[in-house]
């Protein structure tokens, strides 16, 4: 190995190692009996439930008031 190859090898080192592990996103709670509980923390917001057809009141399915009465 020559001195001119050393920078090239150092540049390729991150490709050989790969991505570093991410820290765990959990909350650890210690219990009174000596145990512990890990609660995962999700950063993604909860998705909204789709509108149920029976409960959806868009106004088009309601009876119209008859002005002639």
Quick: pLDDT tens for 11-59. 998 888 888 887 778 889 999 989 999 988 877 766 776 666 565 555 5
Position 53 scores a pLDDT of: 58
Tell me the C-alpha distance between 25 and 35, whole Å: 19
pTM given for the model: 0.31
**What residues pair up with 39 in beta bridges, in sequence order?**
27
17 exposed, middle or buried (CB, 10 Å; 0-12, 13-18, 19+)? exposed
Cβ neighbours of residue 1 under 8 Å, at least 6 residues apart? 9
47 exposed, middle or buried (CB, 10 Å; 0-12, 13-18, 19+)? exposed
Position 37 scores a pLDDT of: 93
Position 62 scores a pLDDT of: 63
What is the pLDDT averaged over residues 53-67? Answer: 64
């Amino acid at each position: 190995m020559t001195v001119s190859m050393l920078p090239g090898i150092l540049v390729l080192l991150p490709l050989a190692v790969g991505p570093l592990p991410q820290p765990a996103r959990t909350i650890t709670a210690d219990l009174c009996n000596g145990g512990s509980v890990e609660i995962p923390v999700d950063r993604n917001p909860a998705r909204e439930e789709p509108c149920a057809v029976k409960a959806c009141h868009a106004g088009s399915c309601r009876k119209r008031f008859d002005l002639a009465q």
